[in-house]
Structure 1
């Protein structure tokens, strides 16, 4: 079951044509990922402080299917697609009602304090799975 995060399109999210500026979809899915992780009970600040681990986006594959507009209520669905010891692949979809507007496949990597890839702690992998 995917995690659902709702957000409203504000005037600042739109371009001169009155549609959501393409880069803002990345902000929407970032917020949804943060809430997905929080909803799993993972405190990212504590993870960094205690284990020295942070998440970084390694890759984004995005398909813009239909424009969102000012004042639309959007739902961002997030679901884990693949999990390795140091990597998470997510499928994220932005919807307006039942209409798909944007699809993304996002690869996250865990980085240690040195900035190099790091293994996720076993308890964290369990929560993400």
Structure 2
């Protein structure tokens, strides 16, 4: 199951060297994750309102492989690696054409309103194949 999310690099995404500032890759993959979850049929605003459950990033392991530049068209590819009771592990990669520029392993956790881990909603577990 791979989700693809396209984006363009804007001037505001770059640093003085004209390349994408390293922290902006985290923004790019966040946008892609939001669209991935939406594509699974999860309305995060409704989920929070009805059950108090939100998703948080617990861990990110990132590799910066090659720079993206102003006006590049990029694609974030999100692939499910594993899902457990309260967690989702993803591989997220940023590509420009056939060149992989960035790779991250991201662990998400579901949290209840009190900040403690919560089981993933049944509908989401089902859509993840669990």
TM-score bracket, shorter-length normalisation? over 0.9
Unaligned regions of 5+ residues in structure 1, if any?
Answer: none
Unaligned regions of 5+ residues in structure 2, if any?
Answer: none
- Give the number of equivalent residue pairs: 129
**TM-score (structure 1 length as normaliser):** 0.98
Structure 2 match to 1:25: 25
Do structure 1's residue 63 and structure 2's residue 63 form an aligned pair?
yes
**TM-score (structure 2 length as normaliser):** 0.97
Extract structure 1 runs of 4+ deviating beyond 6 A. none
**C-alpha displacement of 1:124:** 1.6
Give the 5 Å matches for 1:70-81. 70-81=70-81
Q: Find the aligned partners of 1:127 and 1:43 in 2 and give their Cα distance.
A: 13
Three-state SS of the structure 2 residue aligned to 1:110 is strand
CA RMSD between the two structures: 0.7
* Paired residues of 2:40 and 2:124 also in contact (CA < 8 A): no
**C-alpha displacement of 1:96:** 0.1
